[in-house]
Amino acid sequence: MKSNNRPIGIFDSGIGGLTVLKELQTQLPDESFIYIGDTAHLPYGNKSSQTIINCSQSICQYLLSQDVKLIIIACNTASSLALNFIKQTVNIPVIDVITPVHHMIMKNVQLRRVGIIGTYNTIQSNAYCKVLVNSNNKLKVFQQACPLFVPLIEEGLQNDLIAHLAIKKYLINLINKNIELLVLGCTHYPLMKKSIQENIPTSIQILDSAQATADYLTYYLTTHTLLSSKKINNNRIIITDKTENFKSLAKIILNNRRINLEILNITS
C-alpha cells in the first residue's frame, strides 16, 4: 500500500494556480506539493483544445513519475477541455477547479442569478453552465470571456488603470443582468479580485475558485483517507520556460521570499 505522505501534483498555465497552492498550504500544512506552471505555453485561454490536452497530458505524466498521490488541474481552461482525457490516462484521483465551485454554489439554494468570467476557451466550453444548470434548472447563468485578464496579471498589472478599464468593459453586461454572485472562473483572477471588487456593486458576492478548490480538496482527502500524517518534502515549484515576472510574483502570492524555481522541458 502506497503512503499517503506522497506529494500532491498541481498544474496551471502559469502563475494563477499559485492562488490555489497558497490556499492549500494554509489548509493542509502537512501535505507536500509539486506545482507546475506551463509558462512555455501560456496562456491556455487562446490555444487549441488539442494543444491544451497534449500539454496537460505531458505534465500529468511527469507528475506521475514523481509518485504523486493526486493531481489538481488548477486551471479552468484545462479543467474544461482536458479533464476527461487526463482521467483516462492516469490511475490516481484527479480534481478539477470547476467541480468545487459547483459544490459551493449548490449549497446556496436561494441563489438565482450567477455570472461566470473566464478565458475564451473556458466560456466557449460552457463547462460551468452545463454543470450548474443541470443541477438547478432555476439558476440563470450568464457568462463573459475576459481574454485580457491573464496577460495583465502575468505582467503584474492587475491593479493598474488598464486593468480597471478592462474590468469595466468586460463586466458591464453581467452587472446589467443583476447577478447575485460572480464566479472567478480562472485561477489567475483572484489576483485581480481587489480591482474587480472596486468596479462592481457591493451587493454582488465573489466566489474564488482557488478557495473553493482548497475547501473541496480538504473534504476529499478526509473522506477518502488520503490525508498526510506529516510533511515529508519541501514544496517544489516548476516552470516550463524562464519568464520575467514569475518568480517575483510567486514570492508575493505565496508570501515567501525563498522560492527556488526548477525548469522542466515538455512538448505539446
Active site residue ranges? 75, 186
Which cell numbers in the block locate residue 46?
A: 487562446
Which cell numbers in the block locate residue 20?
A: 490555489
Hey, CA dihedral for 42, 47, 52, 55, is it positive or negative?
Answer: negative
Determine how many CB atoms are found less than 10 A away from the CB of residue 138: 8
Q: Which of 205, 157, 154 is nearest to 184 (CA)?
A: 205
Assign 181 to helix, strand or coil: strand
Omega prior to 43 cis, within 30 of 0: yes
CA 108, CA 122: separation in Å to the nearest integer? 23
Biggest CA pair distance of the chain: 55
- In terms of Cβ atoms closer than 10 Å to its own Cβ (0-12, 13-18, 19+), residue 202 is exposed
According to DSSP, the residues that pair with 190 across neighbouring strands are: none
Q: Which residues contact 50 (CB under 8 A, 6 or more apart)?
A: none
CA 195, CA 216: separation in Å to the nearest integer? 26
CA 232, CA 254: separation in Å to the nearest integer? 20
**Tell me, what DSSP letter sits at residue 109?**
T
